[in-house]
Amino acid sequence: MAVIHHTVLTPTKLELLASWLPARPWYHGGAGGPDLAKAGGFRLDDPQGEVGIEFLVVTDASAADPAAYLVPLTYRGAPLDGAEHALVGTMEHGVLGRRWAYDGAHDPVLVAQLLALIEGRAQAQDQNASDTPDREVLRACANEVPLKAADFSTAEDGPDGTELSAPHGSVLHLHRLLHPAPQDGPPVPPGGAAGHVAGSWLLPDGTRTCGLFAALLHTDRRS
């Protein structure tokens, strides 16, 4: 299990994201720059114990209608070869030293563990406590063919999120701009979805809500 260090990060994650988010095609914030707050998320363990994996939810109050974004991040002790385009920034960690933070959609370690989570082979972990499962993260999978992370090696950002396409026709869609589920109801995956991950976060007014984080789709069934 990953150990959570309660220490100082310089710059902070929110400071890194404030300069990185506005350039994303799925960002819909105000003209004055992001006004970010941490709102939720969870972690996954790297079986090799080398890469930190976090699914961070942040709210942005810079526009008239506050928005919530899912930002999957990986934290590494050295640069990831060939991933310069996915670098969010570097931080100084009070215990671990220099850390390279990447957009996790482009990191094969995060993709592999997200697929493992969808299939039930990995357990979501609490964002702020070591060795503590996060029971609020929901997952389901009806896919009969085992998923291979190597098949989802190319990530493309669009106005609705990030898509990783596999040669056999499956698409792993990461919802970046989050939408709360219908009131008093569970998150509903798109029609024909073969699997999904859902989680919860806090709205700016303190209300707790939930919604879809990721969905495994087939290209002939996307909606």
| 4 assigned to some structural domain | no
Does any domain span residue 105?
yes
| Bridge partners (DSSP) listed for residue 70 | 57
What are the pLDDT digits (tens) for 60-106? 999 888 999 999 999 999 999 999 999 999 999 877 779 999 999 99
Domain that holds residue 204: 9-218
In a domain, 116, yes or no: yes
What backbone torsions phi and psi does residue 152 show, to the nearest 5 degrees?
A: -110, 55
Query: Residue 6 — very low, low, confident or very high, per pLDDT cuts 50/70/90?
Result: low
- Residue position matching structure tokens 């008093």: 184
Between 53 and 63, name the one with better pLDDT.
53
In a domain, 223, yes or no: no
For residue 138, the Cα-to-chain-centroid distance in whole angstroms is 14
Which is nearest to 31 in space by CA: 64, 57, 59? Answer: 64
Residue 221 pLDDT > 60, yes or no?
Answer: no
Over residues 7-35, mean pLDDT: 91
Rounded to whole angstroms, how far apart are CA atoms 180 and 187?
Answer: 8
Predicted pLDDT of residue 113: 97
Distance CA 134, CA 165 (A): 28
- Domain annotation covers residue 1: no
pTM of the model: 0.92
Residue 2 domain-assigned (yes or no): no
Number of compact structural domains in the chain: 1
With cut-offs at 50, 70 and 90, classify the pLDDT of residue 110. Answer: very high
14, containing H or E segment: helix 13-20
Q: In this predicted structure, what is the pLDDT of residue 191? A: 75
On whether residue 94 sits in a domain, the answer given is yes
